[in-house]
Amino acid sequence: MRDDAGLRPFSLLSPAVLVITIGLLLPMTMMFRFSLNRYSANELMTQALTLSNYARFFGDAFYLGILAKTIAVALASTVVALVLGVPAAYFLARLSTPRLKSALILMTVVPLLMGNSVRTAGWMVLLGDRGLCNAILIFLGIREEPLRILYTGKAVLIALVAAILPYMIISLQSVLEGIERVYEEAALTLGAHPATMFRRVLLPMLMPGIFSGSLLCFILAMNAYATPLLIGGPTFQMMAPLVYQQLTKVFDWPFASSMAFVLMAVTLASVVLSSVFIQNRYGRL
Amino acid sequence: MAARMRALTGRTAFLASVGLAYLLVLAPLIAVFWVSFFRNKIIAFPPQGYTLAWFANAWSLDDFRNGFVLSVEIGIVATIGSLLIGVPAALALARHDFRGREAISAALMSPLIVPGIVAGTAVYMFYIEIETWTDVQLAATLPGLCLAHVVLALPWTVRLVTASLVGVNRLVEEAAMTLGAGPALTLWRVTLPMIRPAIVAGGLFSFVVSFVDLEKSLFLVGPGRTTLPIAIINYLEWSIDPTIAAVATIQILIISAALLLTDRFVKLSRAF
Protein backbone atom coordinates (compact mmCIF):
# COMPACT_ATOMS: atom_id res chain seq x y z
CA MET A 1 0.00 0.00 0.00
CA ARG A 2 1.19 3.49 -0.81
CA ASP A 3 1.97 5.61 2.17
CA ASP A 4 1.91 9.34 1.45
CA ALA A 5 4.12 9.85 4.46
CA GLY A 6 2.51 11.53 7.43
CA LEU A 7 -0.44 13.15 5.70
CA ARG A 8 -2.91 10.26 5.82
CA PRO A 9 -2.43 9.18 9.42
CA PHE A 10 -2.65 12.83 10.39
CA SER A 11 -6.03 13.37 8.75
CA LEU A 12 -7.35 10.01 9.98
CA LEU A 13 -6.33 10.73 13.56
CA SER A 14 -7.08 14.43 13.89
CA PRO A 15 -10.84 14.14 14.66
CA ALA A 16 -10.21 11.64 17.46
CA VAL A 17 -7.28 13.62 18.86
CA LEU A 18 -9.34 16.83 18.71
CA VAL A 19 -12.25 15.25 20.62
CA ILE A 20 -9.98 13.77 23.30
CA THR A 21 -8.16 17.10 23.65
CA ILE A 22 -11.34 19.15 24.09
CA GLY A 23 -13.20 16.51 26.04
CA LEU A 24 -10.47 15.41 28.46
CA LEU A 25 -6.90 16.69 28.09
CA LEU A 26 -7.68 20.43 28.10
CA PRO A 27 -10.15 20.16 31.00
CA MET A 28 -7.58 18.17 33.01
CA THR A 29 -4.86 20.76 32.35
CA MET A 30 -7.24 23.54 33.31
CA MET A 31 -8.20 21.73 36.50
CA PHE A 32 -4.56 21.43 37.49
CA ARG A 33 -4.14 25.18 36.97
CA PHE A 34 -7.28 25.84 39.03
CA SER A 35 -5.93 23.77 41.89
CA LEU A 36 -3.20 26.43 42.28
CA ASN A 37 -5.73 29.28 42.50
CA ARG A 38 -7.25 30.77 45.61
CA TYR A 39 -10.85 30.54 46.79
CA SER A 40 -12.61 33.69 47.85
CA ALA A 41 -16.13 33.80 49.23
CA ASN A 42 -17.40 36.64 47.04
CA GLU A 43 -15.52 36.06 43.78
CA LEU A 44 -15.35 32.24 44.16
CA MET A 45 -11.91 32.01 42.56
CA THR A 46 -8.97 34.43 42.31
CA GLN A 47 -5.93 33.92 40.13
CA ALA A 48 -2.93 32.80 42.11
CA LEU A 49 0.00 30.43 42.03
CA THR A 50 -0.14 28.77 45.39
CA LEU A 51 0.05 25.32 46.90
CA SER A 52 -2.24 26.38 49.74
CA ASN A 53 -5.07 24.07 48.64
CA TYR A 54 -2.79 21.06 48.78
CA ALA A 55 -1.37 22.29 52.09
CA ARG A 56 -4.90 22.63 53.43
CA PHE A 57 -5.74 19.08 52.38
CA PHE A 58 -2.62 17.48 53.83
CA GLY A 59 -2.68 19.71 56.92
CA ASP A 60 -6.20 18.80 57.98
CA ALA A 61 -6.74 15.57 59.89
CA PHE A 62 -10.34 15.40 58.63
CA TYR A 63 -9.35 15.23 54.95
CA LEU A 64 -6.30 13.08 55.59
CA GLY A 65 -8.53 10.67 57.50
CA ILE A 66 -10.89 10.37 54.53
CA LEU A 67 -7.97 9.77 52.17
CA ALA A 68 -6.56 7.12 54.51
CA LYS A 69 -9.96 5.47 54.84
CA THR A 70 -10.41 5.47 51.06
CA ILE A 71 -7.02 3.82 50.54
CA ALA A 72 -7.69 1.31 53.32
CA VAL A 73 -11.13 0.34 51.96
CA ALA A 74 -9.74 0.08 48.41
CA LEU A 75 -6.83 -2.11 49.57
CA ALA A 76 -9.05 -4.36 51.68
CA SER A 77 -11.58 -4.90 48.91
CA THR A 78 -8.78 -5.59 46.40
CA VAL A 79 -7.26 -8.25 48.68
CA VAL A 80 -10.63 -9.95 49.23
CA ALA A 81 -11.33 -9.81 45.49
CA LEU A 82 -7.95 -11.41 44.81
CA VAL A 83 -8.53 -14.24 47.30
CA LEU A 84 -11.97 -14.96 45.82
CA GLY A 85 -10.90 -14.26 42.25
CA VAL A 86 -8.06 -16.80 41.97
CA PRO A 87 -10.21 -19.93 42.47
CA ALA A 88 -13.01 -18.54 40.28
CA ALA A 89 -10.59 -17.62 37.48
CA TYR A 90 -8.87 -21.00 37.70
CA PHE A 91 -12.23 -22.80 37.55
CA LEU A 92 -13.24 -20.66 34.54
CA ALA A 93 -9.95 -21.12 32.67
CA ARG A 94 -9.86 -24.90 33.14
CA LEU A 95 -13.52 -25.59 32.23
CA SER A 96 -13.51 -28.09 29.41
CA THR A 97 -17.14 -27.72 28.23
CA PRO A 98 -17.15 -24.82 25.75
CA ARG A 99 -20.85 -23.99 26.25
CA LEU A 100 -20.59 -23.86 30.03
CA LYS A 101 -17.44 -21.80 29.72
CA SER A 102 -18.93 -19.14 27.46
CA ALA A 103 -22.02 -18.99 29.69
CA LEU A 104 -19.81 -18.41 32.73
CA ILE A 105 -17.76 -15.76 30.90
CA LEU A 106 -21.01 -13.96 30.08
CA MET A 107 -22.03 -14.21 33.74
CA THR A 108 -18.74 -12.50 34.61
CA VAL A 109 -18.69 -9.80 31.93
CA VAL A 110 -22.35 -8.77 31.99
CA PRO A 111 -22.31 -7.77 35.71
CA LEU A 112 -19.01 -5.97 35.09
CA LEU A 113 -20.65 -3.66 32.57
CA MET A 114 -23.99 -3.37 34.35
CA GLY A 115 -23.29 -0.02 35.99
CA ASN A 116 -23.05 0.87 39.64
CA SER A 117 -26.56 2.23 40.10
CA VAL A 118 -28.23 -1.12 39.40
CA ARG A 119 -25.77 -3.05 41.55
CA THR A 120 -26.28 -0.59 44.40
CA ALA A 121 -30.06 -1.05 44.20
CA GLY A 122 -29.48 -4.80 44.41
CA TRP A 123 -27.37 -4.54 47.57
CA MET A 124 -29.95 -2.30 49.20
CA VAL A 125 -32.56 -5.01 48.51
CA LEU A 126 -30.28 -7.69 49.95
CA LEU A 127 -28.77 -5.93 52.97
CA GLY A 128 -31.54 -3.63 54.25
CA ASP A 129 -33.29 -4.16 57.61
CA ARG A 130 -36.18 -5.82 55.76
CA GLY A 131 -33.84 -7.20 53.09
CA LEU A 132 -33.39 -10.76 51.92
CA CYS A 133 -30.37 -11.50 54.15
CA ASN A 134 -32.22 -10.43 57.28
CA ALA A 135 -35.36 -12.29 56.20
CA ILE A 136 -33.27 -15.47 55.87
CA LEU A 137 -31.50 -14.91 59.22
CA ILE A 138 -34.83 -14.40 61.01
CA PHE A 139 -36.50 -17.31 59.20
CA LEU A 140 -33.68 -19.64 60.25
CA GLY A 141 -33.99 -18.38 63.79
CA ILE A 142 -30.39 -17.16 63.90
CA ARG A 143 -31.53 -13.64 64.75
CA GLU A 144 -34.62 -12.30 66.49
CA GLU A 145 -34.16 -8.70 65.40
CA PRO A 146 -32.85 -7.59 61.99
CA LEU A 147 -29.08 -7.25 61.88
CA ARG A 148 -27.81 -3.81 60.89
CA ILE A 149 -25.79 -4.45 57.71
CA LEU A 150 -26.73 -1.61 55.37
CA TYR A 151 -25.04 1.71 56.23
CA THR A 152 -22.01 0.03 57.79
CA GLY A 153 -18.42 -0.32 56.61
CA LYS A 154 -18.93 -4.07 56.16
CA ALA A 155 -21.72 -3.48 53.64
CA VAL A 156 -19.48 -1.08 51.68
CA LEU A 157 -16.74 -3.69 51.61
CA ILE A 158 -19.10 -6.45 50.42
CA ALA A 159 -20.59 -4.25 47.70
CA LEU A 160 -17.17 -3.01 46.54
CA VAL A 161 -15.75 -6.53 46.37
CA ALA A 162 -18.73 -7.61 44.28
CA ALA A 163 -18.26 -4.65 41.95
CA ILE A 164 -14.54 -5.23 41.29
CA LEU A 165 -14.48 -9.04 41.42
CA PRO A 166 -15.47 -9.54 37.73
CA TYR A 167 -12.47 -7.40 36.66
CA MET A 168 -10.19 -9.53 38.82
CA ILE A 169 -11.60 -12.80 37.44
CA ILE A 170 -11.25 -11.67 33.81
CA SER A 171 -7.69 -10.37 34.32
CA LEU A 172 -6.57 -13.61 36.00
CA GLN A 173 -8.44 -15.84 33.56
CA SER A 174 -6.74 -14.29 30.52
CA VAL A 175 -3.31 -15.09 32.02
CA LEU A 176 -4.34 -18.58 33.15
CA GLU A 177 -5.55 -19.40 29.62
CA GLY A 178 -1.98 -18.87 28.42
CA ILE A 179 -0.48 -21.25 30.99
CA GLU A 180 -0.57 -24.73 29.61
CA ARG A 181 -1.93 -27.48 31.74
CA VAL A 182 1.16 -29.69 31.29
CA TYR A 183 3.07 -27.61 33.88
CA GLU A 184 0.49 -28.40 36.55
CA GLU A 185 0.34 -32.05 35.52
CA ALA A 186 4.12 -32.39 35.58
CA ALA A 187 4.28 -31.04 39.12
CA LEU A 188 1.42 -33.25 40.28
CA THR A 189 2.76 -36.48 38.73
CA LEU A 190 6.14 -35.75 40.30
CA GLY A 191 4.35 -35.94 43.63
CA ALA A 192 3.65 -32.32 44.56
CA HIS A 193 0.64 -31.66 46.75
CA PRO A 194 -1.93 -29.50 44.86
CA ALA A 195 -1.26 -26.62 47.28
CA THR A 196 2.51 -26.90 46.72
CA MET A 197 1.95 -27.10 42.98
CA PHE A 198 -0.15 -23.94 43.13
CA ARG A 199 2.41 -22.05 45.21
CA ARG A 200 5.56 -23.17 43.36
CA VAL A 201 4.34 -23.56 39.77
CA LEU A 202 1.12 -21.70 39.04
CA LEU A 203 1.52 -18.65 41.29
CA PRO A 204 4.82 -17.38 39.79
CA MET A 205 3.40 -17.65 36.28
CA LEU A 206 0.16 -15.97 37.40
CA MET A 207 1.94 -12.94 38.93
CA PRO A 208 1.47 -10.58 35.94
CA GLY A 209 -2.28 -11.26 36.04
CA ILE A 210 -2.40 -10.76 39.80
CA PHE A 211 -0.71 -7.37 39.46
CA SER A 212 -2.76 -6.08 36.55
CA GLY A 213 -6.01 -7.34 38.10
CA SER A 214 -5.25 -5.94 41.55
CA LEU A 215 -4.24 -2.61 40.07
CA LEU A 216 -7.46 -2.29 38.09
CA CYS A 217 -9.53 -3.25 41.14
CA PHE A 218 -7.67 -0.83 43.41
CA ILE A 219 -8.26 2.06 40.99
CA LEU A 220 -11.97 1.25 40.69
CA ALA A 221 -12.40 0.92 44.46
CA MET A 222 -10.47 4.14 45.18
CA ASN A 223 -12.79 6.09 42.92
CA ALA A 224 -16.07 4.45 43.90
CA TYR A 225 -18.92 6.93 44.24
CA ALA A 226 -22.33 5.26 44.44
CA THR A 227 -21.30 2.47 46.83
CA PRO A 228 -19.93 4.60 49.69
CA LEU A 229 -22.70 7.18 49.20
CA LEU A 230 -25.71 4.84 49.21
CA ILE A 231 -24.48 1.66 50.92
CA GLY A 232 -22.25 3.43 53.44
CA GLY A 233 -24.76 6.14 54.23
CA PRO A 234 -24.15 9.79 55.15
CA THR A 235 -21.53 9.12 57.82
CA PHE A 236 -19.34 6.90 55.65
CA GLN A 237 -16.97 9.27 53.87
CA MET A 238 -14.77 8.41 50.91
CA MET A 239 -12.89 10.61 48.44
CA ALA A 240 -15.15 10.53 45.38
CA PRO A 241 -18.35 11.75 47.10
CA LEU A 242 -16.23 14.35 48.92
CA VAL A 243 -14.95 15.81 45.62
CA TYR A 244 -18.50 15.94 44.29
CA GLN A 245 -19.81 17.78 47.38
CA GLN A 246 -16.93 20.24 47.39
CA LEU A 247 -17.60 21.19 43.78
CA THR A 248 -21.40 21.25 43.67
CA LYS A 249 -22.36 22.22 47.24
CA VAL A 250 -19.44 24.34 48.51
CA PHE A 251 -18.44 25.75 45.07
CA ASP A 252 -14.80 25.83 46.17
CA TRP A 253 -13.31 25.09 42.76
CA PRO A 254 -9.62 25.40 43.71
CA PHE A 255 -9.99 23.02 46.65
CA ALA A 256 -12.17 20.58 44.70
CA SER A 257 -9.56 20.61 41.90
CA SER A 258 -6.72 19.87 44.30
CA MET A 259 -8.70 17.01 45.88
CA ALA A 260 -9.46 15.54 42.47
CA PHE A 261 -5.75 15.71 41.72
CA VAL A 262 -4.77 14.06 44.99
CA LEU A 263 -7.21 11.25 44.17
CA MET A 264 -5.79 10.92 40.69
CA ALA A 265 -2.17 11.15 41.91
CA VAL A 266 -2.66 8.26 44.33
CA THR A 267 -4.25 6.29 41.50
CA LEU A 268 -1.49 7.12 39.00
CA ALA A 269 1.28 6.50 41.52
CA SER A 270 -0.02 2.98 42.04
CA VAL A 271 -0.08 2.45 38.26
CA VAL A 272 3.52 3.63 37.85
CA LEU A 273 4.85 1.78 40.92
CA SER A 274 3.32 -1.51 39.95
CA SER A 275 4.34 -1.31 36.30
CA VAL A 276 7.94 -0.55 37.35
CA PHE A 277 7.76 -3.49 39.74
CA ILE A 278 6.35 -5.85 37.12
CA GLN A 279 8.91 -4.80 34.51
CA ASN A 280 11.81 -5.24 36.91
CA ARG A 281 10.63 -8.60 38.05
CA TYR A 282 9.07 -10.16 34.98
CA GLY A 283 10.38 -8.16 32.01
CA ARG A 284 8.33 -6.06 29.60
CA LEU A 285 4.81 -7.34 29.19
CA MET B 1 -7.42 -42.44 53.56
CA ALA B 2 -6.41 -39.27 55.36
CA ALA B 3 -4.80 -37.99 52.19
CA ARG B 4 -7.97 -38.68 50.25
CA MET B 5 -10.03 -36.86 52.90
CA ARG B 6 -7.69 -33.89 52.66
CA ALA B 7 -7.99 -33.83 48.88
CA LEU B 8 -11.78 -33.94 49.19
CA THR B 9 -11.83 -31.06 51.69
CA GLY B 10 -9.52 -29.10 49.43
CA ARG B 11 -11.79 -29.65 46.44
CA THR B 12 -14.89 -28.69 48.46
CA ALA B 13 -13.23 -25.51 49.70
CA PHE B 14 -12.18 -24.68 46.14
CA LEU B 15 -15.68 -25.14 44.72
CA ALA B 16 -17.24 -23.28 47.67
CA SER B 17 -15.06 -20.23 47.02
CA VAL B 18 -15.92 -20.33 43.30
CA GLY B 19 -19.58 -20.44 44.29
CA LEU B 20 -19.17 -17.58 46.75
CA ALA B 21 -17.45 -15.43 44.12
CA TYR B 22 -20.27 -15.87 41.62
CA LEU B 23 -22.89 -15.44 44.35
CA LEU B 24 -21.41 -12.03 45.20
CA VAL B 25 -21.28 -11.00 41.55
CA LEU B 26 -24.75 -12.18 40.56
CA ALA B 27 -26.82 -11.86 43.77
CA PRO B 28 -27.51 -8.09 43.55
CA LEU B 29 -28.69 -8.35 39.96
CA ILE B 30 -30.88 -11.39 40.63
CA ALA B 31 -32.31 -9.79 43.80
CA VAL B 32 -33.30 -6.56 42.07
CA PHE B 33 -34.81 -8.52 39.16
CA TRP B 34 -36.87 -10.68 41.52
CA VAL B 35 -38.15 -7.81 43.67
CA SER B 36 -39.38 -5.87 40.63
CA PHE B 37 -42.21 -8.41 40.27
CA PHE B 38 -43.31 -8.36 43.96
CA ARG B 39 -46.92 -7.42 44.62
CA ASN B 40 -46.24 -5.75 48.00
CA LYS B 41 -45.63 -2.02 47.95
CA ILE B 42 -42.95 -2.27 50.62
CA ILE B 43 -40.24 -4.85 50.01
CA ALA B 44 -40.66 -7.85 52.30
CA PHE B 45 -39.67 -11.48 51.95
CA PRO B 46 -41.34 -13.76 50.99
CA PRO B 47 -43.55 -11.79 48.55
CA GLN B 48 -47.34 -11.77 48.85
CA GLY B 49 -47.64 -12.37 45.11
CA TYR B 50 -46.37 -11.20 41.77
CA THR B 51 -47.36 -8.37 39.46
CA LEU B 52 -46.08 -6.39 36.48
CA ALA B 53 -47.67 -3.18 37.77
CA TRP B 54 -44.39 -1.58 38.90
CA PHE B 55 -43.09 -1.42 35.34
CA ALA B 56 -46.13 0.64 34.32
CA ASN B 57 -45.71 2.74 37.46
CA ALA B 58 -42.04 3.39 36.65
CA TRP B 59 -42.89 4.47 33.11
CA SER B 60 -45.54 6.87 34.45
CA LEU B 61 -42.92 8.74 36.50
CA ASP B 62 -41.36 11.61 34.52
CA ASP B 63 -37.88 11.21 36.03
CA PHE B 64 -37.55 7.64 34.85
CA ARG B 65 -39.25 8.01 31.47
CA ASN B 66 -37.23 11.10 30.57
CA GLY B 67 -34.08 9.58 32.01
CA PHE B 68 -34.54 6.49 29.89
CA VAL B 69 -35.13 8.52 26.72
CA LEU B 70 -32.12 10.76 27.44
CA SER B 71 -29.84 7.79 28.14
CA VAL B 72 -30.90 6.14 24.88
CA GLU B 73 -30.32 9.38 22.95
CA ILE B 74 -26.87 9.92 24.43
CA GLY B 75 -26.02 6.26 23.93
CA ILE B 76 -26.87 6.45 20.23
CA VAL B 77 -24.86 9.65 19.73
CA ALA B 78 -21.90 8.16 21.64
CA THR B 79 -22.08 5.05 19.43
CA ILE B 80 -22.19 6.96 16.13
CA GLY B 81 -19.61 9.52 17.29
CA SER B 82 -17.12 6.99 18.58
CA LEU B 83 -17.40 4.95 15.35
CA LEU B 84 -17.06 7.99 13.07
CA ILE B 85 -13.86 9.18 14.72
CA GLY B 86 -12.64 5.90 16.23
CA VAL B 87 -12.53 3.71 13.11
CA PRO B 88 -10.34 6.17 11.11
CA ALA B 89 -8.10 6.55 14.16
CA ALA B 90 -7.77 2.77 14.44
CA LEU B 91 -6.89 2.57 10.71
CA ALA B 92 -4.11 5.10 11.22
CA LEU B 93 -2.79 3.38 14.35
CA ALA B 94 -2.84 -0.13 12.86
CA ARG B 95 -1.67 0.67 9.33
CA HIS B 96 0.83 3.49 9.61
CA ASP B 97 4.06 3.95 11.41
CA PHE B 98 4.78 7.56 12.29
CA ARG B 99 6.46 9.62 14.97
CA GLY B 100 4.41 10.04 18.10
CA ARG B 101 2.28 6.98 17.38
CA GLU B 102 2.68 5.60 20.90
CA ALA B 103 1.86 8.97 22.48
CA ILE B 104 -1.31 9.41 20.41
CA SER B 105 -2.40 5.86 21.16
CA ALA B 106 -1.90 6.51 24.89
CA ALA B 107 -3.88 9.76 24.64
CA LEU B 108 -6.78 7.97 22.95
CA MET B 109 -6.76 5.31 25.71
CA SER B 110 -6.54 7.88 28.53
CA PRO B 111 -10.31 7.97 29.26
CA LEU B 112 -9.90 4.41 30.57
CA ILE B 113 -7.29 5.52 33.12
CA VAL B 114 -8.68 8.85 34.34
CA PRO B 115 -11.29 8.06 37.02
CA GLY B 116 -14.84 9.09 36.12
CA ILE B 117 -15.25 11.38 39.11
CA VAL B 118 -11.98 13.22 38.31
CA ALA B 119 -12.80 13.57 34.61
CA GLY B 120 -16.33 14.71 35.48
CA THR B 121 -15.02 17.43 37.80
CA ALA B 122 -12.59 18.69 35.15
CA VAL B 123 -15.09 18.65 32.28
CA TYR B 124 -17.76 20.38 34.39
CA MET B 125 -15.46 23.31 35.27
CA PHE B 126 -14.22 23.45 31.66
CA TYR B 127 -17.80 23.75 30.36
CA ILE B 128 -18.60 26.53 32.85
CA GLU B 129 -15.41 28.39 31.84
CA ILE B 130 -16.37 28.10 28.15
CA GLU B 131 -19.79 29.51 29.04
CA THR B 132 -18.23 32.50 30.82
CA TRP B 133 -15.99 33.28 27.84
CA THR B 134 -18.29 32.57 24.90
CA ASP B 135 -21.85 32.38 26.28
CA VAL B 136 -22.20 28.90 24.80
CA GLN B 137 -23.85 26.70 27.40
CA LEU B 138 -22.53 23.12 27.55
CA ALA B 139 -23.08 22.04 31.15
CA ALA B 140 -26.55 20.50 31.61
CA THR B 141 -27.12 20.35 27.84
CA LEU B 142 -27.44 17.42 25.45
CA PRO B 143 -24.38 18.40 23.32
CA GLY B 144 -22.25 18.72 26.46
CA LEU B 145 -23.28 15.27 27.70
CA CYS B 146 -22.79 13.77 24.25
CA LEU B 147 -19.23 15.12 23.90
CA ALA B 148 -18.31 13.65 27.30
CA HIS B 149 -19.81 10.30 26.35
CA VAL B 150 -18.07 10.11 22.97
CA VAL B 151 -14.79 10.54 24.89
CA LEU B 152 -15.87 7.77 27.27
CA ALA B 153 -16.69 5.35 24.44
CA LEU B 154 -13.80 6.15 22.08
CA PRO B 155 -11.09 3.96 23.67
CA TRP B 156 -13.27 0.85 23.42
CA THR B 157 -13.92 1.36 19.71
CA VAL B 158 -10.29 2.17 18.94
CA ARG B 159 -9.06 -0.85 20.88
CA LEU B 160 -11.47 -3.38 19.37
CA VAL B 161 -11.05 -2.14 15.79
CA THR B 162 -7.24 -1.83 16.03
CA ALA B 163 -6.98 -5.39 17.36
CA SER B 164 -9.14 -6.63 14.51
CA LEU B 165 -7.13 -4.73 11.86
CA VAL B 166 -3.89 -6.22 13.12
CA GLY B 167 -5.37 -9.67 12.51
CA VAL B 168 -6.47 -8.93 8.93
CA ASN B 169 -4.41 -10.54 6.18
CA ARG B 170 -2.99 -7.66 4.16
CA LEU B 171 -2.49 -9.86 1.08
CA VAL B 172 -6.25 -9.64 0.44
CA GLU B 173 -6.05 -5.85 0.31
CA GLU B 174 -2.96 -5.99 -1.89
CA ALA B 175 -4.74 -8.38 -4.26
CA ALA B 176 -7.62 -5.88 -4.61
CA MET B 177 -5.14 -3.08 -5.33
CA THR B 178 -3.22 -5.11 -7.94
CA LEU B 179 -6.51 -5.90 -9.63
CA GLY B 180 -7.02 -2.17 -10.09
CA ALA B 181 -9.09 -1.07 -7.09
CA GLY B 182 -8.11 2.35 -5.74
CA PRO B 183 -7.39 2.89 -2.01
CA ALA B 184 -10.92 4.18 -1.31
CA LEU B 185 -12.61 1.25 -3.08
CA THR B 186 -10.29 -1.22 -1.34
CA LEU B 187 -11.11 0.30 2.02
CA TRP B 188 -14.85 0.25 1.37
CA ARG B 189 -15.19 -3.13 -0.32
CA VAL B 190 -12.37 -5.15 1.26
CA THR B 191 -10.99 -3.77 4.53
CA LEU B 192 -14.17 -2.53 6.22
CA PRO B 193 -16.17 -5.73 5.50
CA MET B 194 -13.33 -7.79 6.99
CA ILE B 195 -13.39 -5.83 10.25
CA ARG B 196 -17.19 -5.56 10.39
CA PRO B 197 -17.54 -7.71 13.56
CA ALA B 198 -15.16 -5.43 15.44
CA ILE B 199 -17.00 -2.33 14.21
CA VAL B 200 -20.36 -3.72 15.35
CA ALA B 201 -18.89 -4.78 18.70
CA GLY B 202 -17.22 -1.37 19.15
CA GLY B 203 -20.53 0.35 18.51
CA LEU B 204 -22.43 -1.86 20.96
CA PHE B 205 -19.73 -1.42 23.60
CA SER B 206 -19.90 2.33 23.13
CA PHE B 207 -23.65 2.24 23.73
CA VAL B 208 -23.25 0.12 26.87
CA VAL B 209 -20.48 2.18 28.53
CA SER B 210 -22.37 5.36 27.73
CA PHE B 211 -25.72 4.03 28.97
CA VAL B 212 -24.44 2.84 32.36
CA ASP B 213 -22.11 5.76 33.08
CA LEU B 214 -22.78 7.37 36.43
CA GLU B 215 -19.71 9.16 37.80
CA LYS B 216 -18.84 11.29 34.79
CA SER B 217 -22.40 12.29 33.93
CA LEU B 218 -23.15 13.26 37.52
CA PHE B 219 -21.71 16.73 37.02
CA LEU B 220 -23.07 17.31 33.55
CA VAL B 221 -26.78 16.64 34.01
CA GLY B 222 -29.18 19.41 34.95
CA PRO B 223 -32.58 19.82 36.55
CA GLY B 224 -35.15 17.90 34.51
CA ARG B 225 -32.39 16.47 32.35
CA THR B 226 -31.07 13.38 34.10
CA THR B 227 -29.79 10.11 32.70
CA LEU B 228 -31.36 6.83 33.85
CA PRO B 229 -28.51 5.69 36.19
CA ILE B 230 -28.54 9.09 37.91
CA ALA B 231 -32.34 9.03 38.22
CA ILE B 232 -31.91 5.63 39.89
CA ILE B 233 -29.38 6.75 42.50
CA ASN B 234 -31.29 9.98 43.21
CA TYR B 235 -34.34 7.85 44.01
CA LEU B 236 -32.29 5.36 46.06
CA GLU B 237 -31.18 8.16 48.39
CA TRP B 238 -34.78 8.34 49.61
CA SER B 239 -36.22 4.87 49.31
CA ILE B 240 -35.92 1.40 47.88
CA ASP B 241 -39.16 -0.13 46.60
CA PRO B 242 -40.39 -2.37 43.76
CA THR B 243 -40.74 0.64 41.43
CA ILE B 244 -37.01 1.40 41.52
CA ALA B 245 -36.34 -2.33 41.19
CA ALA B 246 -38.45 -2.31 38.01
CA VAL B 247 -36.37 0.58 36.62
CA ALA B 248 -33.14 -1.23 37.47
CA THR B 249 -34.52 -4.40 35.85
CA ILE B 250 -35.12 -2.50 32.61
CA GLN B 251 -31.47 -1.41 32.64
CA ILE B 252 -30.39 -5.01 33.35
CA LEU B 253 -32.42 -6.26 30.37
CA ILE B 254 -31.12 -3.60 27.96
CA ILE B 255 -27.46 -4.06 28.91
CA SER B 256 -27.70 -7.88 28.89
CA ALA B 257 -29.32 -7.83 25.45
CA ALA B 258 -26.66 -5.48 24.06
CA LEU B 259 -23.85 -7.61 25.49
CA LEU B 260 -25.31 -10.91 24.30
CA LEU B 261 -25.52 -9.37 20.83
CA THR B 262 -21.91 -8.11 21.10
CA ASP B 263 -20.78 -11.61 22.04
CA ARG B 264 -22.05 -12.88 18.65
CA PHE B 265 -19.61 -10.56 16.86
CA VAL B 266 -16.56 -10.47 19.12
CA LYS B 267 -16.06 -12.87 22.02
CA LEU B 268 -16.59 -10.74 25.13
CA SER B 269 -13.62 -12.26 26.93
CA ARG B 270 -11.36 -10.76 24.24
CA ALA B 271 -12.69 -7.22 24.65
CA PHE B 272 -10.59 -6.50 27.74
* Amino acid (1-letter code) at residue A227: T
Q: How far is A199 from chain B (nearest CA, A)?
A: 14
Q: CB–CB of A229/A123 below 8 Å? A: no
Average pLDDT over residues B142-162: 93
For residue B96, what is the nearest residue in chain A, using CA coordinates?
A9
The closest alpha carbon to B245, from B51, B5, B55, B10, belongs to B55
* Amino acid (1-letter code) at residue B234: N
Distance CA(B102)–CA(B66), nearest Å, equals 41
B chain contacts of residue A13, beta-carbon cutoff 8 Å: 88-89, 92-93, 104
Local confidence band at A2 (pLDDT 50, 70, 90 cut-offs): very low
Q: Which of A31, A107, A120 sits opposite B233 (nearest CB)?
A: A120
Q: How far is A149 from chain B (nearest CA, A)?
A: 15
Average pLDDT over residues A220-231: 91
CB contact under 8 A, A87 and B46: no
Would you state the pLDDT for residue A66? 94
Site from A125, A127, A196, A257 to mutate, B interface, most B CB atoms within 10 angstroms: A125
Q: Is B225 helix (H, G, I), strand (E, B) or coil?
A: strand
Q: How far is A114 from chain B (nearest CA, A)?
A: 6
Q: How far is B100 from chain A (nearest CA, A)?
A: 11
Q: Which of B113, B118, B158 sits opposite A260 (nearest CB)?
A: B118
Q: CB–CB of B213/B82 below 8 Å? A: no
Distance CA(A159)–CA(A162), nearest Å, equals 5
Judged against a pLDDT cut of 90, whether residue A80 lies above it is answered with: yes
Would you state the pLDDT for residue A119? 93
CA angle A246, A252, A257 (to 5 degrees): 75
CB contact under 8 A, A1 and B126: no
Q: Which of A8, A110, A194 sits opposite B259 (nearest CB)?
A: A110
Site from A13, A47, A251 to mutate, B interface, most B CB atoms within 10 angstroms: A13
Q: CB–CB of B231/B64 below 8 Å? A: yes
Average pLDDT over residues A94-106: 89
Comparison of pLDDT for B203 and A275, the residue scoring more = B203
Would you state the pLDDT for residue A82? 96
For residue B20, what is the nearest residue in chain A, using CA coordinates?
A84
For residue A163, what is the nearest residue in chain B, using CA coordinates?
B25
A chain contacts of residue B125, beta-carbon cutoff 8 Å: 27, 30-31, 34, 247, 253, 257
For residue B124, what is the nearest residue in chain A, using CA coordinates?
A27
Would you state the pLDDT for residue A275? 75
For residue B33, what is the nearest residue in chain A, using CA coordinates?
A122
Distance CA(B213)–CA(A50), nearest Å, equals 34
Most confident of A33-47, B27-41, B77-91, B253-267: B77-91
For residue A164, what is the nearest residue in chain B, using CA coordinates?
B25
Would you state the pLDDT for residue A22? 93
pLDDT digits (tens, 9 = 90+) for B41-98: 888 778 888 888 888 888 888 889 999 999 999 999 999 999 999 999 999 998 888 8
Judged against a pLDDT cut of 50, whether residue A1 lies above it is answered with: no
Comparison of pLDDT for A42 and B142, the residue scoring more = B142
Average pLDDT over residues B202-214: 93
CATH class for domain A50-282?
mainly alpha
Q: CB–CB of A107/A92 below 8 Å? A: no
Judged against a pLDDT cut of 90, whether residue A189 lies above it is answered with: no
A chain contacts of residue B36, beta-carbon cutoff 8 Å: none
Distance CA(A276)–CA(A264), nearest Å, equals 18
pLDDT digits (tens, 9 = 90+) for B220-242: 988 778 999 999 988 988 888 88
**Torsion, CA B219, CA B220, CA B226, CA B231, rounded to 10:** -20
Average pLDDT over residues B127-131: 92
Q: Which of B18, B29, B85 sits opposite A87 (nearest CB)?
A: B18
Site from A77, A110, A127, A266 to mutate, B interface, most B CB atoms within 10 angstroms: A110
> What ipTM does the predicted assembly reach?
0.88
Q: CB–CB of A209/A152 below 8 Å? A: no
Q: How far is A168 from chain B (nearest CA, A)?
A: 11
CATH class for domain B55-270?
mainly alpha
pLDDT averaged over chain B? 89
